[in-house]
Amino acid sequence: MSNGGGAGERVYSQAPPPTPLFRSWLAGEPERHVRAFELARSWYLEGRRIEMRALAAELGVSRPTLYRWAGSREQLVADVIWSFADHLFRTAVERARGRGARRILEVARRYTRWVAEAEPLRRFLDADAETALRILTRRHGGVQGRLVAAYEALLREEIERSALIVPLPPPLFAYLIVRVGEAFLYNDAICALEPDVESVLTVIRVLLDSGSASADAA
Residues 40-92 pLDDT 10s: 999 999 999 999 999 999 999 999 999 999 999 999 999 999 999 999 999 99
Reported as a pLDDT band with limits 50, 70 and 90, residue 18 is confident
Residue that is last in its domain, among 47, 70, 93: 70
For residues 91 and 196, membership in a common domain is answered with yes
Q: Among 48, 70, 92, give the residue marking a domain's end.
A: 70
The count of domains in the chain is 2
Residue 111 lies in a domain: yes
Residues 160 and 211 in one domain: yes
- Which long-range contacts (C-beta less than 8 Å, at least 24 apart) are formed by 68-71? 68/20, 69/19, 69/20, 69/21, 69/24, 69/33, 69/36, 70/19, 70/20, 70/21, 70/22, 70/36, 70/40, 71/16, 71/19, 71/21
56 and 114 together in one domain: no
55 and 162 share one domain: no
Is residue 24 domain-shared with residue 11, that is, in the same domain?
Answer: no
| Whether residue 5 has pLDDT greater than 70 | no
Residue 75 domain flag: no
- Is the residue at 112 inside a domain? yes
In-domain check, residue 188: yes
CA pair distance 211, 185, nearest whole angstrom: 25
> Mean pLDDT, to the nearest integer, of 125-140?
91
Q: What is the mean pLDDT of residues 114-124?
A: 94
Residues 199 and 160 in one domain: yes
Q: What residues pair up with 186 in beta bridges, in sequence order?
A: 193
Are 194 and 122 in the same domain?
yes
* Confidence check: pLDDT of 218 > 50: no
pTM: predicted TM-score of the whole model, two decimal places: 0.90
Asked whether residue 111 falls in the same domain as residue 47, the answer is no
Whether 76 maps to a domain, the answer reads no
**Together in a domain, 199 and 211:** yes
On whether residue 42 sits in a domain, the answer given is yes
Question: What percent of the chain is predicted at pLDDT more than 90?
Answer: 78
Write down the pLDDT at residue 7. Answer: 44
The answer on pLDDT for 213 being more than 80 is no
- Host domain of residue 63: 20-70
If asked whether residues 91 and 110 sit together in one domain, one would say yes
Q: pLDDT grade, residue 29 (50/70/90)?
A: very high
Residues 5 and 26 in one domain: no
Q: What percent of the chain shows pLDDT beyond 70?
A: 89
